């Protein structure tokens, strides 16, 4: 059975609206922590000319690869009546192994965008600057970084739901926990990113949008 995330089904449309606003036409996008692959497939079904490179840590690759092969390829006919075609000219690439902490996993730049959903509160806090630094290396000048998920601000949670979610994460693994948007912005600025937007999303989530340096400062 394919891995499945109910959250992805709920958030894919609001995230698509953000992508439509911020991605250039026919964007080449690197996704970090693709998980079940539902976002990758859906965005490629919706955005013509998109080139999407999914990735994740090795343990996630078999399930992710299976979804991309089944839903990103040609029509399998009656074997999968739920199959939908990709948008015109869209390309959904075979998933890459990418752990943000492994320098040699990062693919050759340049990408027009780096996207990651619901990963920063799962990876240890020390990995977040690695994701930002990898994104800075991977993006072309002026390319965009989009980070979707729950965030705190200056140590303050944006809802009681997020306080409970943070406690639940930390009880499962003390290395997990909701990250702070102010700290992320500070680290991103240090890497030459310009914060462009902080988009409020359903269920107390946000999308932080940054532009990569115009060159020289990375």
Ligand X SMILES: C[S@@+](CC[C@H](N)C(=O)[O-])C[C@H]1O[C@@H](n2cnc3c(N)ncnc32)[C@H](O)[C@@H]1O
CB 64 to ligand X: min, Å? 8
Residue closer to ligand X, measured from CB, 5 or 46: 5
Instruction: Give contact residues for ligand X (rule: CB under 6 A).
Output: 5, 7-8, 32-36, 39, 56-57, 60, 98-101, 117-119, 122-123, 127
Cβ neighbours of residue 184 closer than 8 Å, sequence gap 6 or more: 120, 128, 132, 147, 151, 208
CB 34 to ligand X: min, Å? 6
CA 1, CA 198: separation in Å to the nearest integer? Answer: 36
Q: How many residues does the chain have?
A: 218
CA distances in angstroms from 42 to 35, 101, 123, 133, 170, listed in the order given: 13, 27, 24, 27, 31
Which contacts qualify for 79-86: CB closer than 8 Å, 24 or more apart? 84/45, 85/45, 86/44, 86/45
Residue closer to ligand X, measured from CB, 15 or 212: 15
Residue closer to ligand X, measured from CB, 3 or 49: 3
CB 215 to ligand X: min, Å? 26
Residue closer to ligand X, measured from CB, 117 or 135: 117
Residue closer to ligand X, measured from CB, 118 or 207: 118
CB 36 to ligand X: min, Å? 6
Which residue's C-beta sits nearest to ligand X? 35
CB 127 to ligand X: min, Å? 5
Q: Burial of 75 by CB count in 10 Å (0-12 exposed, 13-18 middle, 19+ buried)?
A: exposed
């Amino acid at each position: 059975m394919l891995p499945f995330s109910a959250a992805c089904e709920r958030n894919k449309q609001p995230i698509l609206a953000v992508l439509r606003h911020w991605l250039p036409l026919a964007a080449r996008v690197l996704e970090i922590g693709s998980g079940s692959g539902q976002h990758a497939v859906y965005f490629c079904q919706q955005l013509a000319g998109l080139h999407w490179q999914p990735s994740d840590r090795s343990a996630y690759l078999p399930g992710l690869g299976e979804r991309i092969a089944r839903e990103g390829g040609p029509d399998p006919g009656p074997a999968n009546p739920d199959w939908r075609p990709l948008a015109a000219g869209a390309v959904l690439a075979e998933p890459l192994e990418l752990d943000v902490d492994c320098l040699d996993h990062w693919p050759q730049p340049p990408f027009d965008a780096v996207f990651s959903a619901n990963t920063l509160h799962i990876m240890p806090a020390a990995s977040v600057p690695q994701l930002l630094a990898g994104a800075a290396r991977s993006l072309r000048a002026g390319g965009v970084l989009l980070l979707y998920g729950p965030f705190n601000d200056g140590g303050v949670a944006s809802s009681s739901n997020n306080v409970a979610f943070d406690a639940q994460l930390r009880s499962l693994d003390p290395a997990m926990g909701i990250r702070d948007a102010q700290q992320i912005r500070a680290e991103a600025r240090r890497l030459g990113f310009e914060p462009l937007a902080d988009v409020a999303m359903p269920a107390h989530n946000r999308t932080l949008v940054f532009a990569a340096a115009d060159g020289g400062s990375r």
